[in-house]
Structure 1
Amino acid sequence: MNVITKMEGIRKGPDELVPSRYAVRVGDIDVLVISDGVVTPPAESMATNADPAVRGAWLDDMFLSRDAFDWALNAVVVRSGGQTILIDSGIGGEVPDFPRAGQFGHRLAAAGVDLASVTDVVLTHMHFDHVGGLLVDGVKERMLPDLRIHVAAAEAKFWESPDFSRTAMGPVLSDVARRAAKHFLNEYHGQLRPFETEYEVAPGVVVQRTGGHTPGHSVVRMMSGGDRLMFAGDAIFPVSFDHPEWHNGFEHDPEEATRVRLRLMRELAETGAWLVSTHMPFPSVGRVAAVGNLFRWVPAWWDY
């Protein structure tokens, strides 16, 4: 059954000329995908172990620049069982060099989501483009004092003394990541609800640690009335369908991240569950089909 219910566009000003939120219904669970905007990383960051010529050919085939390209930032609001759950929060103002990102706050407001109504936050991991929206001035003060923030215990532990030796982030972004995670832990330590392997946040909404991208990287599965949707965080990227073996420069354990990616893509192909992922092109709603040993992305038909 097609779980897409509607597409909503907003226009806040001259830069809000395209849709920035997309509503999905998974059984009795309401899901709202919200775009935090786009970042523009170096193209090689999506495939650090690829032959440059092969990587360049793939970019050419996708009509993308060989230097840098727009990379979506998607976060999700989930309503289930009387709870309002925020999954990740975008980049906030952590990287001024990405001025087209950090849109999450005003787009939440435009969607009618009051920060004071959020009962739970789930973090897929603690990279700056996932926690940054919670670090924007004034955000914490607008949220409930008994807000629950669910994050894998291994993730919180890792960021106490992070190791970037196997990433390709470089010193500047490594410093940004370290600083943002430390700031987040200092600000929200009293509201953290760490889990070991998995935790049911609300009826039909389960977060599960996968590891790989970061030690505590997690995905969120939503199941209701026979419908399924997975928010995969940074486990699956646009290039993953043609080249799941390519390492992303932000992966702290690239080999394990590849194993996780393949396992999740096989699961999605077998179950037919919808996929939403942080860096898939907005609205990032579609299915995964198996094609031999590789996979094919099947975007949802937008429902106007």
Structure 2
Amino acid sequence: MRNMSLGNISHPSVKHCADKIDARYPHGRPHHELVPSRYALKVGEIDVMVVSDGVLSLPGEMLGHNVDPALRAAWLEDMFLPPDVLEWALNAVVVRSGGRTILIDAGMGEEYPDARRAGLLAQRLEDAGIDPTSVTDVVLTHMHMDHCGGLLADGVKERLRPDLRVHVAAAEAEFWEAPDFSHVAMPPGYPDALRRTGKRFLKEFHGKLRTFENEYEVAPGVVVQRTGGHTPGHSVVRLASGGDRLTFAGDLVFQVGFEHPDWYNGFEHFPEEAARARIRLLRELAANRESLVATHLSFPSVCHVAIDGDVFRWVPGPWEY
């Protein structure tokens, strides 16, 4: 068998192949996309696309702030992660079912100017060929600024259809009238920014809100369920079609939450309740073997949950070509 040297592959050849695949963009992607930012899959007859809104850089100490810092540092080292900075992915999802196009969470937008690698969702949706006027529904897992801020970005609201429905738990809308930050461990500046964004969103989208108590079917096979914990109205979205199932867990599940589901995250307003809700959901997903997507798991985040002794294990899903 003849050996092949990687050194024989020239950059012009690679570019030529990419141009053959997608002549619109060099390397097959828009010039501002250094890495792929969208991933499509099917859940039965439901079309699903995970879309990246970029990444947030946050202090490492806000992860597991209820445990010994040495334990946290050891976990970060075991996961080949830096000790001081967490790089949090931001994932949103677009779902098509029953003639409706549903955006699940809307990303950061321009709500926190220091987050310069986030707030890209409007551009990413355009790159994916998704016109804002085609979106019939928005589901917000909760109203933190990295989940609703994208709808407040310049020029976005004007492009949304007048009959857009924004689904959010009634408890969530009520919470942001006077939010409680007494149990969080956020970096400085974040509570004020979150409070400001929540109030602004309620004001600007009041007429489009469709609140629910505990569960609501947005479209065939697309059900939003309130879990509470992270925020009082935090919700997950359950997709089911044929024998396929997938849950978008929002901020209920973080990477550390598989091995240490009882560790508190600094953005959880009611961390004890969040830990209980996280464990319930992970047990259910492990039992029924359905797929999981979450906001802050590495893009595209599609994975499964396994039980490993007394804890859970994150099993990345196979990439679907």
Q: How does 1:92-103 map to 2 (within 5 A)?
A: 92-103=109-120
2:143 is the alignment partner of 1:126: yes
Stretches of structure 1 that go unaligned for 5 or more consecutive residues are 1-7
Instruction: Give the whole-Å Cα distance in 2 for the aligned partners of 1:98 and 1:29.
Output: 33
2:263 is the alignment partner of 1:246: yes
Counterpart of 1:234 in structure 2 is 251
Counterpart of 1:31 in structure 2 is 48
8 Å CA contact retained: 2:63, 2:72: no
Instruction: Give the whole-Å Cα distance in 2 for the aligned partners of 1:181 and 1:220.
Output: 21
What letter matches 2:124 in structure 1? R
Counterpart of 1:57 in structure 2 is 74
Counterpart of 1:176 in structure 2 is 193
Q: When the two structures are superposed, what TM-score results if normalisation uses the length of structure 2?
A: 0.90
Instruction: Give the whole-Å Cα distance in 1 for the aligned partners of 2:293 and 2:227.
Output: 16
**Two-structure CA RMSD over aligned residues (Å):** 1.2
Instruction: Tell me how many residue pairs correspond in the alignment.
Output: 296
Q: After TM superposition, give the deviation of residue 117 of structure 1 in Å.
A: 0.4
Instruction: Give the whole-Å Cα distance in 1 for the aligned partners of 2:275 and 2:86.
Output: 22
Instruction: Give the whole-Å Cα distance in 2 for the aligned partners of 1:170 and 1:21.
Output: 29
What letter matches 1:234 in structure 2? D
Instruction: Give the whole-Å Cα distance in 2 for the aligned partners of 1:170 and 1:20.
Output: 27
Instruction: Give the whole-Å Cα distance in 1 for the aligned partners of 2:76 and 2:171.
Output: 35
Stretches of structure 2 that go unaligned for 5 or more consecutive residues are 1-21
Instruction: Give the whole-Å Cα distance in 2 for the aligned partners of 1:170 and 1:80.
Output: 39
Q: After TM superposition, give the deviation of residue 64 of structure 1 in Å.
A: 0.8
Counterpart of 1:275 in structure 2 is 292
Instruction: Give the whole-Å Cα distance in 2 for the aligned partners of 1:218 and 1:187.
Output: 21
8 Å CA contact retained: 1:10, 1:19: no
2:211 is the alignment partner of 1:194: yes
Q: After TM superposition, give the deviation of residue 292 of structure 1 in Å.
A: 1.4
Select the structure with the greater relative contact order (CA < 8 A; seq sep ≥ 6): 1
Q: How does 1:66-145 map to 2 (within 5 A)?
A: 66-145=83-162
Out of 29, 46, 50, the position equivalent to 1:11 is: 29
Instruction: Give the whole-Å Cα distance in 2 for the aligned partners of 1:97 and 1:17.
Output: 20
8 Å CA contact retained: 1:10, 1:20: no
Q: After TM superposition, give the deviation of residue 18 of structure 1 in Å.
A: 1.2
8 Å CA contact retained: 1:210, 1:219: yes
8 Å CA contact retained: 2:41, 2:320: no
1:135-164, Cα deviation, whole Å (9 max, x unpaired): 001111101101000000000000000010
Q: Which has the larger radius of gyration?
A: 2
8 Å CA contact retained: 1:213, 1:257: yes
2:307 is the alignment partner of 1:290: yes
Q: After TM superposition, give the deviation of residue 303 of structure 1 in Å.
A: 2.3
What letter matches 1:34 in structure 2? V
Instruction: Give the whole-Å Cα distance in 1 for the aligned partners of 2:28 and 2:248.
Output: 23
8 Å CA contact retained: 1:221, 1:228: yes
Instruction: Give the whole-Å Cα distance in 1 for the aligned partners of 2:73 and 2:297.
Output: 19
Q: Which deviates the most, 122-131 or 45-54?
A: 45-54
Residues 126 and 10 of structure 1, relative CA distance in 2, 3 Å threshold: farther
Counterpart of 1:256 in structure 2 is 273
Counterpart of 1:3 in structure 2 is none
Instruction: Give the whole-Å Cα distance in 1 for the aligned partners of 2:232 and 2:210.
Output: 17
8 Å CA contact retained: 1:10, 1:17: no
What letter matches 1:106 in structure 2? Q
8 Å CA contact retained: 1:213, 1:235: yes
Q: After TM superposition, give the deviation of residue 17 of structure 1 in Å.
A: 2.4
8 Å CA contact retained: 2:185, 2:266: yes
Q: Secondary structure at the match of 1:151?
A: strand
Instruction: Give the whole-Å Cα distance in 1 for the aligned partners of 2:253 and 2:61.
Output: 16
Out of 214, 220, 242, the position equivalent to 1:203 is: 220
Q: Which runs of 4+ in 1 moved over 6 A?
A: none
Q: Secondary structure at the match of 1:70?
A: strand
Residues 175 and 253 of structure 1, relative CA distance in 2, 3 Å threshold: same
Q: After TM superposition, give the deviation of residue 69 of structure 1 in Å.
A: 2.4
Q: After TM superposition, give the deviation of residue 98 of structure 1 in Å.
A: 1.3
What letter matches 2:30 in structure 1? K
